[in-house]
Structure formats: C-alpha cells, structure tokens
Structure 1
C-alpha cells in the first residue's frame, strides 16, 4: 500500500520531468524532423514504461519470496486466544470447557494454518509478479532493438 501511495505521489513529477525532457529533446533535434522526433520519444516512452514494469515485478517477486521464506508472525498471542475460548465466544463441541492443553493445541494449529496461508499467498504473488516481467520484457527488447536501428540511421 505504501508503494502505491508513493507511485501516486511521484507519478505527476515523473510525467512533468518527461515532458520537459521531450521539449528539450525536440528543440535540440529540430533538424531531424517532427515525425522522427515523435518516433524517438515514443520509443523511449515505451522503453521507460516496460522497464518500470519489469523493475516493479522484480521487487514484488522479492517481497513475495521473503514472505515465502519467513512468513510474518501470527498477530494474536496465546492468552488472547485462550480468553476467547474460555469466554464462550467460540462454540465448543458438547458444550464443555476445553482444557488449557486443548486450547494450546488449537492455538498452535491456528498459527500453523496462518503461516501456510501466508506461504500460499506468497506463491500466488510470485506467479502474478512473473507476469510483470515475462510480458513487458520482450516488448522492451523489441523497442530497444528499434532504438538501436534508429540511432544507426
């Protein structure tokens, strides 16, 4: 969520910088012709966008891998968990109170289940993030080759 708010904050700044660079580039290369300048700017814009997508995908994969290797801790401690069972907020089979050992076993199972869910979400996030690398990377290579050919002319 923090990354999204930073993106929203800095996106207008990046856009303004890109417009300024485009104006300076256009003035500097006036002899190339308007169409060639626009083509170059479009190529660089696509290169920039695809590179940002690949970098974002790489960061997302790294973060998901960190969750996979070391899932975040379970947020509820045993005393709070035990209190819920002893207050009767959770229906118990045969309406009898659970012993502390039974509650501890249920707590340990809840902690393990949460870690497994976190690992599954991390695996899912890795697969989704690969899309941000696999899809734009060929486009980046294609436009980079196009840029090299434009430079050679």
Structure 2
C-alpha cells in the first residue's frame, strides 16, 4: 500500500485503501455483495490481470469512437499512462463528446456517492446507469442508433420522431 499511497499523493488524488481489491481477496469481496452479484457483475475479477487484450481497441473501435473516448477521458487518460492516437480532434467530435466529458469529470464523485449505498441498490444502479447514459447520448446525437439500441421496430421509430 505504501507505493500506491505515494503514487496517489503524486497524482493529487485521495488514496482509499478500501478500493484496493486483488484477485487474492475474492472471498473478502463476496461478503460485500449480495448472493451471486459478484459472479454476475464481476465474473473475471478472480482471474487476475492479463495483458492479452491490451491493444484490442485498435482493431475493434471505429475512428469516431476513438476520438470521442480521447476527448472525453482527456487528462485522466494521460494520468493513467495512455497515449493519444490523434493529436487533434474535429469540432464535430468535440461537440459529440460533451456528455462523455461531463461524465468523466464527475465519475469519481459519483462513485463515492454510489459506494455509500446499500449493496443491492448499488448493483442495480451500476447495472442500469451506463445503458441509460448511452441512450441519452444516442438520443441527442444519433437517433438511428438510439432506436436500434432500444430495439424498437422501424415503424415505431418514425412514429416517435413526430
């Protein structure tokens, strides 16, 4: 923990030992989650850390998605050691990334609030909130994806646009 405390101090972030869980302490984690929730939501937690998927984003993400992620994560990605794939981002992507920027800037604060909630409520929020955020972003910027994401038939898609 001492090294992580030093790193946290250097980065200017609060060190919270309670957030450090390794695959060695999986049994301790099971006590914090209601029956089956740990396996359902964090099934690979006990596997340890692997780097075989480290660069997979380069082949699986579209250029637009990479731009949006880089703009949204910005300095947080740099602090975590990620290098940018692009030096400049088109204005279109900067505007599209506004919801992501807002989320990225508030995620630590939101995490602290959510972590204080009872486990059942916490898991319900964490399992549904990301999808709801995605729906909001799609509704604002890409109605076609919004309706596909919601899995509405195309006939309903045009009825809802009125």
- The normalised TM-score by structure 1 is 0.29
Which one has more relative contact order, counting CA pairs under 8 Å at least 6 apart?
1
Q: 1 or 2, which has the higher helix percentage?
A: 1
Structure of higher CA gyration radius: 1
- The normalised TM-score by structure 2 is 0.28
